Structure 1
Amino acid sequence: MREHQAPELETPMDDVLQEEAPPLTAIPVVIEGPTRTVSLPAKQWMAGQVTVDSTGGFIQPNRVLGEDPRRARVQLIAKDHAMRVGTSQKQVMSPFTCAVWPIGVPLTIAATSEVWVASDQDLATVSYVAELWAD
């Protein structure tokens, strides 16, 4: 009768002893001169539009997007009337503290802060496309 033998295992000794790899040490890097960079594509995007109602001369600011650290950039475009753009409701209430942007000209904002819009006209539609770095 033949004996059954288990095959020999060839496991590295580090695995058998469950040794951890030594921590990696940081290497200081100093960049000298111009350096080429490449923008990575966004991972996700979303789109929508906001109707800003300023009927009767009362400016009603609308928050288009909240603060979002995942946002790479957002593009806004006013479809009907010029828009006021700012980072807060208070900022878009005055034409002296916000950007007044013309109809049909895309505005790209590469910031993660809130985006507010308003209009001096009765009804204005603002479309937006936001690109996100992460899901």
Structure 2
Amino acid sequence: MSKRSARPGAAAAPCPCGTPAAYGDCCGRLHRGEAAASTAEQLMRSRYSAFAVGDAAYLLRTWHPRTRPRNLDLDPGLRWLRLEVIGAGDGTAFHTEGTVSFRALYRDAGGEGELREDSRFLRHEGAWTYLDALAPG
């Protein structure tokens, strides 16, 4: 995902990840380094929010070193609208890997679109990290 929207105006703004919590109490805590994702799904939601608020540093920090790009340029012309988690496999505190399927809606100069992905996550040094997207089956 290299699409983004405007940064929430305040920590009290709704979290982009779709939970009912405020950004500052939800994904904002992870972005600021005050908490770590406890599940693969929580990491995926926080990464979606990082794309939405333009936090490339968090995205790079939570990318597995085996597949992490050297840098990440987010497209300022895209706005993320909504995240829908379709399903998750493993990825709990008792697992070392997990998958999350999602659909993310966005708007750009060409109109609205969607990104569907089955993401794979691995623990690295005890923390959940994004590894890659699974090839469509």
Fold similarity call, TM over 0.5:
no
Band of TM-score, shorter chain = under 0.3
TM-score (norm 2): 0.24
TM-score (norm 1): 0.25
Is the helix fraction higher in 1 or 2? 2
Higher relative contact order (CA 8 A, sep 6+): 1
